[in-house]
């Protein structure tokens, strides 16, 4: 976030035994990059596009300071609140029939625009209490908030100067109030991060539908985002409405996403942005956004956050009483943390601005569970271990030298829970959080049997804290990176135009960048050579994120072959490496035309996914 006072913001007039396996698990699931669309709007003159020599990758989101709070906090509150909330999920048509929907009610119920605008003019969320909202999030253990600043209906929840379709100029709400400013003030006071949801797809803006006027819409969108960043200093922006849609046709392109990301990071280098800033691809934004689902394992090549409703609607629907139980919420949160993700759980305030009591009750109960017996340690600052397999009886997260086995299927008396080790591992002790009952740990087959005694501590989950001694590691490396040779052609022909030492393999040239100012943005190639030195003897997963082509050799063997030109995608290879040994490494990337990316990550038992760090890389 911006290094500025963040006081009340006011809008001025902002991984058992390693198996020796060297093979390739090529998973080239990818979608071809779409052609570069028309350049984005001419953002303000002072924000020039990058151009040749620009690498838009500013850091590794898996380990950077910029994302550290987000990766630690794990659990956020989503708030869907807008003009649609005023209808509370129901629209009675002139013929007396009732149509039900929440935040999509205007479109799904074919509410005529003038009728929708008239109802919005009566919107008066006078009971919206920012401190109560933040208090509810804190009590839930939710450490960041993401509120809809503008949903698909285009209605702005702040006093934007770009139109009069907003809570200040088009409602019955007190024109002296600004709910985003109130929320910013309350969040700052409570030490809770604030983010804004912003829909790219806009059903209301008259310039959105036509190709001729879409640039004018984008210019207004940039201006609104600048108002939000300058006026409220958000920690993150949660884009949505990026997909190819109709009514109105959504012309948002990968190029638009690239331009917008560059613009936002020039506005605020500390900003975190989700993948819907572009087209929800592995190269867009800082993290993926699976919705109403939890990935079965860590997501290749990127951070991720599952967003979910508490009932079945995002916006308020007064008839929807299908609430998730507290146990479901807690178990979802533990599963998300154990797979290295975040959980963004939604509330939909009613037309008065109040969070429904059933939401508040479940959120408070979740917070009480997290606060009890240190059970929150299984979530906050915890992540994917890789040292053990994910069991059928629950989930396991890791925080330092502790594993948190969160049991959701408690064993019958005298029976045990099996934990498969994926690397040499010693369990030094085991105890149930919230119980003095004994837990016996017995080496068994490919891992350990945990035999607890006594009953579970509750219906949500019972957490067994295992103090572990992870596999011995080689001394830390002092690598300086790889030799990087780049050519102004995609055939590596002739002498390289540029040779440097690249600390890591982490490039996002997008549409306008290239390895050097002397190399044009299309038809170039880079070869990284040197050695990679792991700390552990184990099977690592090497993951590449690339566009247009990639090849990776380890100890002279081709382990990733993405030589057919492709759009942004991930490829993976399982590679056995020896602790402290310097394995020969060669990576080749070429760019034909359009956008270009190349990242090399690793993960494995006890190694959370990250871009292979500089200390493990040595130049040829």
Among 356, 319, 343, 315, CA closest to 157? 315
Q: Which residue has the tokens 């009566």?
A: 122
CB of 204 to ligand FHN, least distance (A): 15
Q: What would the x/- binding string for ligand FHN be over residues 496 to 535, using CB under 6 A?
A: ----------------------------------------
Query: How many residues at the interface with ligand FHN, by CB under 6 A?
Result: 6
Q: How far is the CB of 471 from ligand FHN (least distance, A)?
A: 39
Is 147 one of the binding residues for ligand FHN (CB under 6 A)? no
Residue whose CB is less far from ligand FHN, 274 or 538:
274
Tokens of 204: 């209301």
Taking the complex as a whole, the smallest distance from the CB of residue 504 to ligand FHN amounts, in Å, to 32
Question: CB–CB of 547/281 below 8 Å?
Answer: no
The answer to whether 207 contacts ligand FHN (rule: CB under 6 A) is no
| 530 within 8 A of 480, measured Cβ to Cβ | no
> Which one, 314 or 404, has the nearer CB to ligand FHN?
314
Question: Is the Cβ of residue 66 or residue 313 nearer to ligand FHN in the bound state?
Answer: 313
Using CB atoms within 10 A of its CB, is residue 502 exposed (0-12), middle (13-18) or buried (19+)? buried
- Smaller CB separation from ligand FHN, 142 or 538: 142
Site for ligand FHN in 245-304 (CB under 6 A): 291
Going by C-alpha positions, the residue among 562, 538, 430, 527 that lies closest to residue 474 is: 538
What is the closest distance, in whole angstroms, from the C-beta atom of residue 558 to ligand FHN in the complex?
Answer: 39
Q: How far is the CB of 510 from ligand FHN (least distance, A)?
A: 24
Q: Sort 400 into a burial class: Cβ within 10 Å, 0-12 / 13-18 / 19+.
A: exposed
Residue 137 to residue 379: CA distance in whole angstroms:
16
Contact criterion met (CB below 8 Å) for 85 and 350 = yes
- The sheet that has 439-444: what strands, in order across it? 417-420, 447-452, 439-444
The residue among 600, 596, 620, 619 whose CA lies nearest residue 524 is 596
The residue (of 324 and 586) whose beta carbon lies closer to ligand FHN is 324
Q: x/- site string to ligand FHN, residues 419 to 438, per CB under 6 A?
A: --------------------
Nearer to ligand FHN, 14 or 311 (CB): 311
Report the residue number, 70 or 314, with the smaller CB distance to ligand FHN. 314
Buried b (16+ CB within 10 A) or exposed e, 237-251: bbbbbbeebeebebb
Does residue 347 touch ligand FHN according to CB under 6 A? Answer: no
Which residue, 250 or 506, is less far from ligand FHN as judged by CB? 250
CB of 103 to ligand FHN, least distance (A): 5
What span, in angstroms and rounded, lies between the C-alpha atoms of 91 and 281? 36
In angstroms, the first-to-last Cα distance of the chain is 38
Residue 359 or residue 539: which is nearer to ligand FHN going by CB? 359
Question: Among residues 226 and 276, whose Cβ is nearest to ligand FHN?
Answer: 276
Name which position in 73, 227, 240, 242 contacts ligand FHN (CB under 6 A): 240
Rounded to the nearest whole angstrom, what is the least distance from the CB of residue 307 to ligand FHN in the complex? 5
Counting contacts by CB under 6 A, is residue 314 touching ligand FHN? yes
Nearer Cβ to ligand FHN (200/596)? 200
* Contact between residue 333 and residue 343 where contact means Cβ atoms under 8 Å apart: yes
Side-chain half-sphere exposure of 138, counting CA atoms within 13 A? 14
| Backbone phi and psi for residue 12, each to the nearest 5 degrees, phi listed first | -65, 145
Smallest gap from Cβ 197 to ligand FHN, in A, equals 7
Least distance to ligand FHN, CB of residue 91, Å:
16
The reply to whether 307 sits near ligand FHN by the rule CB under 6 A is yes
Q: Please, what is the minimum distance in Å from the beta carbon of residue 346 to ligand FHN?
A: 7
Does 103 bind ligand FHN (CB under 6 A)? Our answer is yes
Residue pair 317/102 in contact by the 8 Å Cβ criterion: yes
In the complex, least distance from residue 275 CB atom to ligand FHN, rounded to whole angstroms: 12
Enumerate helices (H) and strands (E) in the chain, giving the number of each. 9, 29
Instruction: By CB under 6 A, name the binding residues for ligand FHN.
Output: 103-104, 240, 291, 307, 314
């Amino acid at each position: 976030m911006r290094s500025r006072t963040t006081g009340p913001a006011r809008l001025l007039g902002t991984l058992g035994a390693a198996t020796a396996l060297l093979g390739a698990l090529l998973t080239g699931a990818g979608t071809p990059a779409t052609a570069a669309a028309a350049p984005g709007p001419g953002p303000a003159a002072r924000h020039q596009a990058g151009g040749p020599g620009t690498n838009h990758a500013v850091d590794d989101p898996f380990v950077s300071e910029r994302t550290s709070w987000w990766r630690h906090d794990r659990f956020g509150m989503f708030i869907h609140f807008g003009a649609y909330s005023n209808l509370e999920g129901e629209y009675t048509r002139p013929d007396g029939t009732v149509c039900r929907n929440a935040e999509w009610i205007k479109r799904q119920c074919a509410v005529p625009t003038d009728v929708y605008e008239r109802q919005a003019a009566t919107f008066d969320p006078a009971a919206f209490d920012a401190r109560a909202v933040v208090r509810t999030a804190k009590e839930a253990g939710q450490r960041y908030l993401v509120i809809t600043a503008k949903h698909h209906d285009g209605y702005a929840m702040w006093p934007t100067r770009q139109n009069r379709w907003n809570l200040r100029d088009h409602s019955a709400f007190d024109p002296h109030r600004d709910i985003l400013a109130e929320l910013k003030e309350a969040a700052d006071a409570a030490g809770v991060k604030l983010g804004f949801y912003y829909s790219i797809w806009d059903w209301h803006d008259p310039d959105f539908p036509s190709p001729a006027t879409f640039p004018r819409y984008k210019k207004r969108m940039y201006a609104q985002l600048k108002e939000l960043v300058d006026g409220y200093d958000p920690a993150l922006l949660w884009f949505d409405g990026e997909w190819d849609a109709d009514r109105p046709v959504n012309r948002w392109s990968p190029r638009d996403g690239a331009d917008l990301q560059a613009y936002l990071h020039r506005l605020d280098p500390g900003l975190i942005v989700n993948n819907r800033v572009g087209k929800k691809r592995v190269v867009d934004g800082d993290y993926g956004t699976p919705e109403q689902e939890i990935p079965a394992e860590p997501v290749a090549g990127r951070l991720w956050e599952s967003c979910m409703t508490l009932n079945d609607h995002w916006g308020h629907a007064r008839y929807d009483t299908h609430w998730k139980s507290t146990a479901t919420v807690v178990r979802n949160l533990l599963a998300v943390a154990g797979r290295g993700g975040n959980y963004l759980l939604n509330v939909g305030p009613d037309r008065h601005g109040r969070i429904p009591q059933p939401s508040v009750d479940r959120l408070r109960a979740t917070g009480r569970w997290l606060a009890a017996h240190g059970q929150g340690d299984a979530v906050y600052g915890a992540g994917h271990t890789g040292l053990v397999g994910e069991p059928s009886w629950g989930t396991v997260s890791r925080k330092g030298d502790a594993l948190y086995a969160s049991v959701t299927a408690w064993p019958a008396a005298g029976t045990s829970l099996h934990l498969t080790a994926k690397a040499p591992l010693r369990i030094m002790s085991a105890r149930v959080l919230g119980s003095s009952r004994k837990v016996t740990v017995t080496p068994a087959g490919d891992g350990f049997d945990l035999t607890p005694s006594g009953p579970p501590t509750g219906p949500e989950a019972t957490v067994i804290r295992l103090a572990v001694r992870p596999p011995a590691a080689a001394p830390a490396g002092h690598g300086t990176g790889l030799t990087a040779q780049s050519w102004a052609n995609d055939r590596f022909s002739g002498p390289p135009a540029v040779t440097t030492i690249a600390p890591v393999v982490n490039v996002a040239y997008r549409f306008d960048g290239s390895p050097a100012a002397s190399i044009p943005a299309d038809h170039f190639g880079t070869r990284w050579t040197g050695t990679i030195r792991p700390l552990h003897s184990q099977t690592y997963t090497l993951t590449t994120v690339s566009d247009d082509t990639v090849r990776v050799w380890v100890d002279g063997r081709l382990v990733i072959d993405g030589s057919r030109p492709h759009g942004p995608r991930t490829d993976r290879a399982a590679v056995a490496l020896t602790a402290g040994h310097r394995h020969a490494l060669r990576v080749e990337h070429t760019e034909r035309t359009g956008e270009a990316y190349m990242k090399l990550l690793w993960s494995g038992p006890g190694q959370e996914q990250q871009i292979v760090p500089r200390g493990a890389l040595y130049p040829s």
